C-alpha cells in the first residue's frame, strides 16, 4: 500500500496535528469525503458546530428506542423495519419461542447481531450456538431457524442484493482487530443430526423481491450429511474484537470496521482505553461526513460521546450536517473524567441516504435534536 505525500493548505489559526492541541477556545470540525478515506479539511470554529438554537426540516438527527417496538415474535423476514435504502435494510426482531419452520432470505446476506438472549441456530450448514454480543453472518438463500434458550432480540442488517466481506486491515495485517481463527462456523454435530427428520412436514418462508413465498416439504430440508468449501454461516462476538488504539490520537470510526458490504460498512465500538496524551481530543471529533448516513445501535454500557442514551436505542445522523459529542460528553472529555470507555455499539455507515421505517417513526424521540444544542460562549 503506497500513497503520495500531500501537504494541506493552511489558513488562519490551526493545530499542527488534526484532533490534537486545538487553538485556544476553538472547536474542530472535520469536513470529509468518502467517509474518512477521502480528502478532508479541518475547520477551527469559535462556537460548537452543534450550537444551533432551532431546527426545521427532516435532515435533523434522529433517535429511536427499539425497546418500544411492539413484539414481533413471528417471521423474522417481516420484522419491523427501522431504516432502509437500496443497499441495506435494518430491522429489529424479538423471538421468545422456537421456530418450527425455516426462513430464507433471497434478497441478500443477513448480519444478525444478538442484542439479548442466547440459543441455537440451525441452518443448511449445521448447528451453531449463540449468545448476546454475537454477530451471525448468514449467506443469501440459506435456510435457517433458531431455538432460543431465553428470549432473544436481534438487530437484523440485510445486505440487499449484496454480500458481507471482511475489511482491508492494511499495514496492521490480517490478524489485527480479530484473528480469523476466532470465527466459529456452523457444524454437522450430534445436535444438528438430532433435529433431522424424513417423515414430517416443514415450511420454508422465502423472502424474495420483498415478497413472501411459502414452500412446503414432506421432510426437514436441514438434512445435510456433509459439506466442504469456504462459504458458510459463522459467528463473531464483540468480546473477541481487539480494537486498534492510539494513546495520542483519536482514531476515526473507520478504524473499527468489522464488515463491509455494497454501499455500507458495519463498525463495532468496544471498551478501550481513552487517549492519555494531554493535547489529544478524548471524544469523537465534530465532523460532517458529507457522503454517508451514520447509524449507531447501542448494545450495552454508557456511550461516552452521548447523553441520555440507553441500551436498545438507535441514533441516525443523516449526511450533510455537523455532529460529534454531546455537550456534556465534550466537557467530560476535556476534564479527562474517564480512563476508558465501557460501551459496546454497532455502527452502520451507508453511502446512500436512509429512509425511516414505521418502527423508527413510532419510537422516535422528537426532542433528540435539542440535546445537541450547545450554549454559545460569551
pLDDT of residue 282: 81
> For strand 102-105 and strand 202-208, is the pairing parallel, antiparallel, or unpaired?
parallel
Same fold, 27-63+243-372 and 71-238: yes
pLDDT of residue 376: 43
On the CB side of 93, CA atoms within 13 Å amount to: 23
Q: Please indicate if the annotation marks 62 as binding a ligand.
A: no
7/316 Cα distance (integer angstroms): 34
228/156 Cα distance (integer angstroms): 27
Instruction: Give the domain 27-63+243-372 fold.
Output: Jelly Rolls (2.60.120)
Point out the residues of the chain with pLDDT beneath 70: 1, 72-73, 304-307, 328-337, 374-378
Q: Which residue has the cell 450495552?
A: 300
Q: Please indicate if the annotation marks 127 as binding a ligand.
A: no
pLDDT of residue 378: 37
Which CATH number is associated with domain 71-238?
A: 2.60.120.10
114/130 Cα distance (integer angstroms): 8
Q: Which of 42, 115, 250, 317 is catalytic?
A: 250
Select from 279, 288, 289, 270 the least CA-distant residue to 249: 279
pLDDT of residue 38: 77
What residues does each domain of the chain span?
27-63+243-372, 71-238
Q: Please indicate if the annotation marks 293 as binding a ligand.
A: yes
Q: Quick check: 261 and 164 in contact, CB under 8 A?
A: yes
Residue 94 falls in the annotated catalytic set: no
Coil/strand/helix, residue 302:
coil
* Grid cell in block for residue 265: 460498512
Amino acid at each position: 500500500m503506497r500513497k503520495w505525500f500531500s501537504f494541506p493548505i493552511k489558513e488562519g489559526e490551526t493545530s499542527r496535528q488534526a484532533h490534537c492541541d486545538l487553538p485556544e477556545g476553538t472547536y474542530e470540525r472535520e469536513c470529509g469525503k468518502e467517509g474518512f478515506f477521502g480528502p478532508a479539511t479541518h475547520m477551527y470554529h469559535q462556537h460548537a458546530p452543534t450550537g444551533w438554537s432551532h431546527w426545521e426540516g427532516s435532515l435533523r438527527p434522529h433517535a429511536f428506542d427499539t425497546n418500544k417496538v411492539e413484539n414481533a415474535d413471528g417471521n423474522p423476514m417481516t420484522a419491523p423495519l427501522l431504516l432502509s435504502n437500496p443497499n441495506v435494510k435494518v430491522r429489529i426482531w424479538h423471538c421468545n419461542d422456537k421456530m418450527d419452520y425455516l426462513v430464507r432470505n433471497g434478497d441478500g446476506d443477513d448480519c444478525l447481531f444478538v442484542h439479548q438472549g442466547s440459543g441455537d441456530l440451525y441452518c443448511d450448514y449445521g448447528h451453531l450456538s449463540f449468545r448476546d454480543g454475537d454477530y451471525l453472518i448468514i449467506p443469501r438463500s440459506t435456510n435457517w431457524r433458531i431455538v432460543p434458550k431465553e428470549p432473544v432480540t436481534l438487530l437484523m442488517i440485510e445486505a440487499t442484493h449484496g454480500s458481507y466481506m471482511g475489511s482491508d486491515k492494511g499495514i496492521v495485517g490480517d490478524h489485527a482487530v480479530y484473528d480469523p481463527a476466532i470465527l466459529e462456523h456452523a457444524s454437522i454435530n450430534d445436535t444438528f443430526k438430532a433435529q433431522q427428520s424424513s417423515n414430517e412436514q416443514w415450511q420454508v418462508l422465502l423472502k424474495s423481491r420483498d415478497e413472501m413465498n411459502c414452500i412446503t416439504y414432506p421432510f426437514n430440508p436441514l438434512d445435510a450429511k456433509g459439506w466442504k468449501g469456504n462459504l458458510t454461516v459463522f459467528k463473531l462476538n464483540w468480546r473477541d474484537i481487539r480494537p486498534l488504539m492510539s494513546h495520542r490520537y483519536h482514531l476515526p470510526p473507520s478504524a473499527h470496521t468489522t464488515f463491509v458490504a455494497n454501499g455500507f460498512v458495519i463498525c463495532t465500538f468496544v471498551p478501550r482505553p481513552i487517549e492519555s496524551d494531554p493535547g489529544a481530543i478524548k471524544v469523537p471529533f465534530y465532523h460532517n461526513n458529507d457522503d454517508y448516513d451514520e447509524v449507531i445501535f447501542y448494545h450495552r454500557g454508557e456511550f461516552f460521546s452521548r447523553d441520555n442514551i440507553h441500551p436498545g436505542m438507535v441514533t441516525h445522523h443523516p449526511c450533510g450536517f455537523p455532529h460529534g459529542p454531546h455537550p456534556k460528553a465534550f466537557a467530560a472529555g476535556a476534564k479527562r473524567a474517564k480512563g476508558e470507555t465501557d460501551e459496546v455499539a454497532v455502527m452502520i455507515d451507508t453511502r446512500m441516504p436512509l429512509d425511516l421505517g414505521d418502527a423508527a417513526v413510532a419510537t422516535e424521540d422528537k426532542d433528540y435534536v435539542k440535546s445537541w444544542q450547545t450554549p454559545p460562549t460569551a
